[in-house]
Chains A and B, each alone.
Chain A
């Protein structure tokens, strides 16, 4: 596929459980971003990867959230001990380079997480 893909598209879990959300960026894109979109709000930045390293994780709300990108391509967002307030749509975006502010970020369709 040519675009950013995210799996699963929907995830329902119970409070306290662990979840993993996956993002497959566009092939060759070195920059990868995670955003979170709560109901009625715009996306909010969570974390940015340039290659394999997390260059900025300042948007992660707390230490229950963690993300990896071990081979510089696929990324996984991990949430421990989920809470109802974590319910949101989690968006992944990639761009060909993070080093130019004008580079377009291409977004995936998102994963809708619902914590019961």
Chain B
């Protein structure tokens, strides 16, 4: 079984400051890792994902995450946040070897990022 821990339920930060949202996972098998974002009054959207290859993955809007297998972490970072980044961010995993031929996502509880002017 897998589990995901997001250590911070809320992260307040000023505009243009750097931010890190932490995610740790537990799994006895290899996993794929995802970050989803939920803007106010909108559905979940995929922000970025790690499947294989380079452990550093980037999104189109300046976020990046690094897969650290030894620390079982997949922290999300952005060097300079904008007001528009205010949202809830969810870390999720799914096993690389499918059980039953499908990939249900296991989510963390979420981190609410609040960017202040």
Contacts and interface: CB of A to CB of B under 8 A. Distances in A.
Interface residues of B, number: 30
Interface residues of A, number: 31
Nearest to B36: A107
A107 B42 CA distance: 10
Interface in A61-116: 91, 93, 98-110
B86 interface: no
B interface, by DSSP: helix, strand, loop or mixed?
loop
Contact of B42 (A4, A33, A104, A109): A109
Interface string B101-117: 11111111110000000
Given A41-B109, A110-B43, A99 B102 contact: yes
A103 B102 CA distance: 10
B68 interface: no
Interface in B1-16: 4, 6, 9
Interface of B: 4, 6, 9, 32, 36, 42-46, 49, 51, 90, 92, 94-98, 100-110
